[in-house]
Amino acid sequence: GESVGLHLPTLSVQEGDNSIINCAYSNSASDYFIWYKQESGKGPQFIIDIRSNMDKRQGQRVTVLLNKTVKHLSLQIAATQPGDSAVYFCAEIMNSGYSTLTFGKGTMLLVSP
Amino acid sequence: AAGVIQSPRHLIKEKRETATLKCYPIPRHDTVYWYQQGPGQDPQFLISFYEKMQSDKGSIPDRFSAQQFSDYHSELNMSSLELGDSALYFCASSLGRQNSPLHFGNGTRLTVT
């Protein structure tokens, strides 16, 4: 894929604030979306998923919004905590009969106390 | 809960050497995936297996091969290593192929000198 190098988009927030991380996905045929959190030295960790027949899904402190018209996903984190600091990736899967997960570009979230 | 296990965690090889990475999926998961992640980049899909058969192929070089064994573990074999192969290699597993969340291991960091 295209090289981003070490310069990830970064969102800096204060502890207790709400965070919104945005993602533009690439394929209008995608119908399943997942947000992953990746901490340094670890693999991507599943946060929440949403299927294309929904436009909103809520989890514990997290909400995912899907706008298929403009191919946009967002992840909202309520009451952000220092432990939320990580790189966040959105990922999409096309309904092609098998799951090939394609990651979007990551966003680094930095939470300061 | 059991997670995806990868070994080794770190591997240092010289150019033109070979390497074998191993992945043990979550119990009862029948599908495994391999991803490569360069510094500051999103994970790139290499290859996947479902029920021991190759399911999908991404940007895997011809120098690499992989297989899934009868116990569902998978191995990624890398030959004629190049400096550019230095990266984090993640394995993920899922239950079924269609629209199931992928669960990732903590990766193998390969350094080619």
pLDDT, chain A, mean: 89
Whether residue A42 has pLDDT greater than 70: yes
User: Which residue in chain A has the smallest CA separation from B40?
Assistant: A6
* Cα Rg of chain A (Å, integer): 14
Where are any strands of DSSP class E within chain B?
5-7, 10-13, 19-24, 31-37, 44-50, 53-57, 64-68, 74-78, 87-94, 103-104, 108-112
Q: Find where tokens 């191993």 sit.
A: B22
Tokens read off for A22: 């945005």
Q: Is B50 on the interface with A (CB under 8 A)?
A: yes
Of B42, B45, B100, the CB nearest to A104: B42
Contact B32, B72 (CB under 8 A): yes
Q: How does pLDDT run across B68-96, given as a tens digit for each residue?
A: 999 999 999 999 999 999 999 999 999 98
Is the sign of the CA dihedral A96, B43, A23, A45 positive or negative? positive
Instruction: Give the per-residue pLDDT at A2.
Output: 35
Whether residue A109 has pLDDT greater than 70: yes
Instruction: Give the per-residue pLDDT at A95.
Output: 63
Task: Provide the 3-class DSSP secondary structure of residue A103.
Answer: strand
B chain contacts of residue A103, beta-carbon cutoff 8 Å: 42-44
Per-residue confidence band for B38, with pLDDT thresholds at 50, 70 and 90? very high
Q: How does pLDDT run across A53-96, given as a tens digit for each residue?
A: 999 999 999 999 999 999 999 999 999 999 999 999 999 987 65
Are A34 and B102 within 8 A, CB to CB? Answer: yes
Q: How does pLDDT run across B65-74, given as a tens digit for each residue?
A: 999 999 999 9
Instruction: Give the per-residue pLDDT at B16.
Output: 97
Instruction: Give the per-residue pLDDT at B34.
Output: 97
Average pLDDT over residues A18-32: 91
